Amino acid sequence: MKYMTHLLMLTAVACAGCDSSDDYKLNSVSSPTPVAQQTDFSSFVIAQYSPSASAETAAAVEVEATDFSYVDNDNPTVFGSLIATAP
């Protein structure tokens, strides 16, 4: 009987060691990753040709990490305002 008691105690200690707090980390709800805001490509290009952006003192625009959306895919007149003002 003493052997059985020791075996049960050893089993209980071994099973208690299997319980991990890592389960909490895996099952916990984390905040979602923020979605990058998309930039309308047509508006962006038109803004780059505005008089203030065309000045020699205008700052460079970083586009490497910019997520562009193309809402004017089939609009042949989207850049008409740029063409009309071209010298």
**Distance from the Cα of residue 44 to its chain's centroid:** 20
Higher pLDDT, 64 or 1: 64
Chain segment 6-62, per-residue pLDDT in tens: 666 666 666 666 655 555 555 556 665 555 688 999 999 888 888 777 677 778 888
> Which pLDDT score, from 0 to 100, does residue 57 have?
77
Kindly report each contact of residues 71-75 with a partner whose C-beta sits within 8 Å and lies 24 or more positions away, as own/partner.
Answer: 71/40, 71/42, 72/40, 72/41, 72/42, 75/42
